[in-house]
C-alpha cells in the first residue's frame, strides 16, 4: 500500500470514528431528560492480528448513577418515592460533540491534502 492510500485510509477511519462519536453524543443529549437513562460511551478495540490498527467500535453504558429525585407520584418511583434521573451531563456532551466535530474536520483536511498530493503526483508522472 502506498503512503498516500494509507494516509487516506487513516483519515477515513478517523472520520468514521468521529461520526459515530457525534451520533452517540446526540443520542445522549436527546435522552438527557429520560429518567433512568444510562449515558452511552464509545469504546475502541484494536483488531487482533492486523498490521493496521483501525479498531472496531462498540458502545457501552456509563454506570455512574444518576441523581435521585423525590417524586412519589411518578410511575417509575421506587418504594421510598425516589426516581433515578439520567446520568447525562449536557455540558460534557456538548464538549464531546465539539471535539468530535473538530477532529472530523481535521481528518477531512488530511484526506483532502493526501488526495491533492496523490493527484499532483499522477499529473507529474503523466508528463
- Report d(CA 17, CA 112) in Å as an integer: 18
pLDDT of residue 22: 95
Q: What is the mean pLDDT of the chain?
A: 88
Instruction: Give the domain extent around 99.
Output: 3-122
Q: Residue 58 — very low, low, confident or very high, per pLDDT cuts 50/70/90?
A: confident
pTM listed for this prediction: 0.80
Give the total number of structural domains in the chain.
Answer: 1
Q: How many helices (H) and strands (E) does the chain have?
A: 2, 4
- Report d(CA 88, CA 65) in Å as an integer: 10
Q: Residue 48 — very low, low, confident or very high, per pLDDT cuts 50/70/90?
A: low
In a domain, 78, yes or no: yes
In a domain, 11, yes or no: yes
Amino acid at each position: 500500500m502506498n503512503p498516500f492510500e494509507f494516509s487516506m485510509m487513516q483519515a477515513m477511519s478517523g472520520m468514521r470514528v468521529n461520526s459515530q462519536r457525534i451520533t452517540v453524543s446526540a443520542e445522549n443529549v436527546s435522552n438527557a431528560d429520560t429518567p433512568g437513562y444510562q449515558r452511552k460511551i464509545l469504546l475502541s478495540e484494536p483488531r487482533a492480528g492486523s498490521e493496521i490498527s483501525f479498531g472496531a467500535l462498540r458502545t457501552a453504558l456509563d454506570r455512574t448513577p444518576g441523581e435521585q429525585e423525590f417524586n412519589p407520584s411518578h410511575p417509575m418511583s421506587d418504594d421510598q418515592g425516589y426516581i433515578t434521573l439520567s446520568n447525562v451531563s449536557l455540558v460534557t456532551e456538548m464538549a464531546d460533540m465539539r471535539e468530535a466535530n473538530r477532529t472530523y474536520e481535521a481528518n477531512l483536511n488530511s484526506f483532502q491534502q493526501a488526495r491533492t498530493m496523490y493527484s499532483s503526483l499522477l499529473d507529474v508522472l503523466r508528463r
